Structure 1
Amino acid sequence: MKFENTGLENVKADLTRLDEVMLDHGLVREGQWDYERVTYDRKFELKEGVFYLRVFGYAAEGDVGAHKALIQIMTPLLGKHYYPHGVEYGEGESFPKSLVSQCEKILTDIKAEVEKFSN
Structure 2
Amino acid sequence: MKFENSGIESIKVDLNNLDEVMDQNGMVRAGQWDYERVTYDHKFQIKEGTYYLRVQGYAIEGDVGAHDAVIQLMQPILGKHYYPHGVEYGEDEYFPEHLVKQCKQILEKINKELAIFAE
| TM-score interval, normalised by the smaller of the two chains | over 0.9
Does residue 26 of structure 2 align to residue 26 of structure 1? yes
Q: Which amino acid counterpart does residue 51 of structure 1 have in structure 2?
A: Y
Return the alpha-carbon distance in structure 2 between the equivalents of residues 63 and 8 of structure 1.
21
TM-score between the two structures when normalised by the length of structure 2: 0.99
- Counting only pairs closer than 5 Å after superposition, residues 39-54 of structure 1 correspond to structure 2 as 39-54=39-54
Return the alpha-carbon distance in structure 2 between the equivalents of residues 81 and 21 of structure 1.
25
Equivalent residue, structure 2, for 1:72 = 72
Q: Which amino acid counterpart does residue 92 of structure 1 have in structure 2?
A: D
Equivalent residue, structure 2, for 1:82 = 82
- Large movers: runs of 4+ above 4 Å: none
Return the alpha-carbon distance in structure 1 between the equivalents of residues 118 and 7 of structure 2.
12
Displacement of 1:17: 0.7
Count of aligned residue pairs for this structure pair: 119
Equivalent residue, structure 2, for 1:57 = 57
Equivalent residue, structure 1, for 2:115 = 115
SS of the residue aligned with 1:32? coil
Displacement of 1:61: 0.5
Displacement of 1:40: 0.1
Equivalent residue, structure 2, for 1:104 = 104
Q: CA RMSD in A?
A: 0.4
SS of the residue aligned with 1:81? strand
In structure 2, the gaps of 5 or more residues are none
Q: Percent identity?
A: 66
1:63-106 residue CA offsets vs partner (Å, 9 max, x unmatched)? 00000000000000000000000000001001010000000000
TM-score between the two structures when normalised by the length of structure 1: 0.99
